[in-house]
Each structure stands twice: as C-alpha cells, then as structure tokens.
Amino acid sequence: MESISRKTFIQSSGLLIAGELLVKKPGAIISGTAQETGARPADKWTLKNVRLETGFVYEDGEVIATETGLFQVEIENGKITAVLPNDPKADGTDAKGQLMLPAFRDMHIHLDKTFYGGPWKARLAKNRSVKDMIAFEEKALPELLKTSTYRAEKIIELLQSKGTNFARSHVNIEPTSKLDSLKNLQKAIENKKNTFGTELVAFPQHGIFYSHSEQLMKDAAAMDIDFIGGLDPNAIDGSVEKQIDFIIQLALDHSKGIDIHLHEGGEPGLRTVEYLTKKVVENPALAGKTFLSHCFVLAKLEKPKLEEIAEKLANARVGVISTIPFGSTIMPIPTLYRHGVNVMTGNDSIVDHWNTFGSGSVLQKSNMMAQLYGQSTELELSRCLKLATCGIMPLDDKGKQKWPKPGDEASVVLVDASCSAEAVARISPVKALVHRGHLVYRN
C-alpha cells in the first residue's frame, strides 16, 4: 500500500479508506483510495479462507454456540457466483479466517450537513425546540454549504470503515439552501458511485407550509430522489392531515416512497401514525415504501394501544426507522418485531449542530439494541444482527444457512469475529468491505 502523509492521515480522521482494490484478474491489487481509483471493477475474483456460519450447536434444546467453517467464495460482475469448499492453495484473496457477513446498511442519516471532516465543534446548548433549530439553520446553512460535498464524502468514508455500503440520506429542501444541499450531495454520491449505494429523501427540514417550501418540494420530487420526507406535521405545519395529504399526493405523482420524521408524542403523534397508516391502506402503491423515522410516540403508549398500533403498521406495511434510544426514550423494538413491522436503524446526525456524537457504526446499534432489551444469549445476539443488515441473515431462527448463496449481491463485510453473536456483542472490528464486487475498504 502506498504511503500516506501524517497530514492526510489526520485529515482522514485516522481512516485508510479502501486501501486495496481488486481489479481484473483474481488477486491483483491496486493501491490508493476508492476516490482516487474510482473503484475499478473486478470482473472475476476469489475470496478464500472465508469464515461462514453453517448452523447452531444445541444443548438441552438451547443454542449454545454457532458452527462455522472455512469456504471459498467466487465473485463475478458484482454477484456471488459460488460458495465452495475451501482451498487454501487457491489463487485468490486470503480472508485469513475472518467472518463474512452481509454488508451493513444505514437507513437514516443526514449526509448533507455535518461538521465531520472539519475542525471539532460540539452542538449548541440543549433544550432548543425544533423551531429554534430551524432558526439556527437559516443562519448556519450558507456556510455549511460551502464544504458540504467534501464533508459528505468524508462521512461516506467513515461509514465504509464501519462496514456500511449503503445509506438512506435525508437532504434539506428549504428556502435557505433551496436545492443546493441536494445538488451538493448528489456530487458526492456521483464521486462515490462505484463504492457506495444511496437512497435520498427530500426532507423539508424547516416545514413544508411553515417555511413555504411547497414548490421546492415539488421541484425536488422531479429530481433524482427516492422518498418524500416530512417533519412533525402538527408541531411544525399546524396540521397532521394537511402535511400528510401533500406528501402522499407528491409521492403518488412521482412514484416515490415516504419517510417522515416524527418526534411528536401524545395525541398529535398518535394521530400522525394512525392517519398516515390509514392513507397507505387507501393507496396500496405506497405499501412497503412508507416509513416513520424515530416515531417516539410508540415508546409512550400503554401496552394494549401499542399492540394495536404495531398490528396496524404491520398490516399496512409501514416501517419504522429507529435510532433505538434517544435520550431517555427507549423504543419498543421487540414488540414491533413480534408483529412483523419492518424495523431498520441509522446513525441519524453525525457530529453536527443537532448531535455531537456518532460513530458511524450500525453494528453498534445492534449491540445497543441487544443491551437495552437483554438479548444476551447466543441465539438472541445473532438475531440482533438483522438491525445492521436490514434483515439479511446468515442463519434463520432454526440455524439453517440462508446466506450467502449464488446470485446474491456481492456486498459483504469481513469482521474479526467467530460468529454473528460475537460480532454484535463485541462490536467486532471491520477488516474489509466489498461493495457489489469491489473491495472498497481494507484495514
């Protein structure tokens, strides 16, 4: 690997991103970062000495361990083409016994506005309302926009170093930055297109009607975005029905999904959940494409009402994107899972004016979930992995091997762990990330 200066090392926050990229023939490597090389595609290559999970070990009916073995994985044109018995002498890249898992996915993040990649800066004083933060953003965004493309790339590199190859990013659409935040982020995504996948949410951070962003949202919906966003319909725009009706119609008109930030609790929060769910049932084209981010109101419901709402969400195929705990708010993730609600997670804000923290790791979110809900057995810990992988699991609940199989996308992460349970419990170090057949990060 080519040398890296101390200055560049510091600027990259200690991360050597995509240190080695496989190209053309198996085993051939090129030095440099993913951005420098454009992550040139490997037509066909082999990964040997790969550790894969093969089943569970039982004692008195309880899972006490996870069986694994070493295998050889063939990759071609971005797909896994074969999973073969291991041949240590094969011509290929040596995984050195590291555990292969599905690449991680961050399903709620704001790549377009961050302090990351620049000087350290903590967030403002606590206890500011969302409207207070909107006023602050109106002053801060012009300066943030000057470096937002560069900083988005830095966050993407941070995510890659934590095993994440895909993110759903909310991007500000409001009168201060207009469509510039979106355009700047699209430049970063274009620069990383061979090494990272994204979905974009047009996010009216300052309210749709509160900031008169209706036309801007319509303009964004006609651009290369995937979801129509929203924010606390009652508290920000003064009407649950008015905001949601606007979002629903915009999504239907442009064949987009929906992802609404909902921080509100109490009656307005519950009314938002129920009204959105009702509208999705009335418009089946939105089923499976509609999500409530945060949705803290669920954490405050009495058990009978929670069970009722969880059942409605599952039947309407409305998902919940949860950052797990938020301050003292603990989300009812086990209840949502039990009813079949699609639950995903993300880092949300990373080192910005909303949040000082953020490691970039969604595996850490799986660990946090395990700790919060007492998921400490081998089986329970292994099941928590699905939060980081959006449900793709090496083994099903009975220990039958489900992944990887020929035809699966070759987006994988290698971790220094013996099994999924250990990876979750210890937040095991990421050693390599492969995105659609391209080795984009190697530690």
Domain ranges of the chain: 6-103+395-442, 105-372
Query: CATH for 105-372, among 1.10.3720.10, 1.10.10.10, 3.20.20.140, 2.40.50.100?
Result: 3.20.20.140
Question: How confident is the model over 96-114, as a mean pLDDT?
Answer: 97
Least confident of 96-110, 252-266, 323-337, 426-440: 323-337
Asked if pLDDT for residue 11 goes beyond 70, the answer is no
Whether residue 56 contacts residue 66, with contact meaning beta carbons closer than 8 Å, is answered with yes
Predicted local distance difference test score (pLDDT) of residue 258: 98
The answer on pLDDT for 6 being more than 80 is: no
Which residues, at least 6 apart from 374, have a Cβ–Cβ distance to it below 8 Å?
A: none
pLDDT at 126 over 80: no
Bridge partners of 202?
A: 171, 228
This prediction has a pTM of: 0.89
Q: Write down the pLDDT at residue 125.
A: 65
Same fold, 6-103+395-442 and 105-372: no
| Residue 65 clears pLDDT 50, i.e. is over it | yes
CATH 2.102.10.10 fits 6-103+395-442, yes or no: no
Question: In which element (H, E) is residue 319 found?
Answer: strand 318-321
Instruction: Give the mean model confidence (pLDDT) for residues 4-14.
Output: 33
What's the helix, strand, coil split of the chain in %, to 5? Answer: 35, 25, 40
Q: What is the pLDDT of residue 28?
A: 30
Q: Residues 3-15: what's their mean pLDDT?
A: 33
Look at 276 and 126; give whichever has higher pLDDT.
276
Is a pLDDT exceeding 70 seen at residue 141?
yes
Higher pLDDT, 43 or 30: 43
- Does the structure show a pLDDT above 50 at 4? no
Q: Which pLDDT belongs to residue 355?
A: 81
State residue 127's pLDDT score.
62
Mean pLDDT of 279-289: 98
* Beta-carbon-side half-sphere exposure of residue 41 (alpha carbons within 13 Å): 12
Helix (H, G, I), strand (E, B) or coil at 257: strand
Cα–chain center distance at 218 = 26
| Structure-block tokens of residue 99 | 């555990």
What pLDDT score does 327 carry?
76
State yes or no: pLDDT of 72 exceeds 80.
yes
Q: Across the chain, which distance is largest between two alpha carbons, in Å?
A: 67
Q: Which helix (H) or strand (E) holds 132?
A: helix 130-145
Under a CB-based contact definition with an 8 Å cutoff, are residues 195 and 435 in contact? Answer: yes
pLDDT grade, residue 1 (50/70/90)?
very low
CA 58 to chain centre: 33
CA distance 153 to 116: 10
What pLDDT does residue 42 have? 55
Q: What is the rounded average pLDDT of the residues 267-290?
A: 98
Structure tokens at 275: 């009204």
Q: Report in angstroms the alpha-carbon separations of 140 from 79, 211, 213.
A: 43, 16, 18
Q: Per-residue pLDDT tens for 177-187?
A: 999 999 999 99
Q: Which residue has the tokens 């003292």?
A: 328
Rounded mean pLDDT, 389-416: 98
Q: What is the mean pLDDT of the chain?
A: 90
What angle is formed at CA 177 by the lines to CA 172 and CA 178, rounded to 5 degrees?
Answer: 85
In whole angstroms, how large is the CA radius of gyration of the chain? Answer: 22
Q: Quickly state the pLDDT bin for 17 (edges 50, 70, 90).
A: very low
What span, in angstroms and rounded, lies between the C-alpha atoms of 400 and 414?
21
Confidence band (pLDDT; 50, 70, 90) for 368? very high
C-beta separation of 179 from 190 below 8 A? no
- For 167, the token pair is 């993110």
pLDDT digits (tens, 9 = 90+) for 19-39: 333 333 333 322 233 433 344
The structure tokens listed for 374 are: 């007492």
> At which residue do the structure tokens 């292969």 appear?
100
Strand spans (E) along 77-148: 79-85, 93-94, 99-102, 104-109
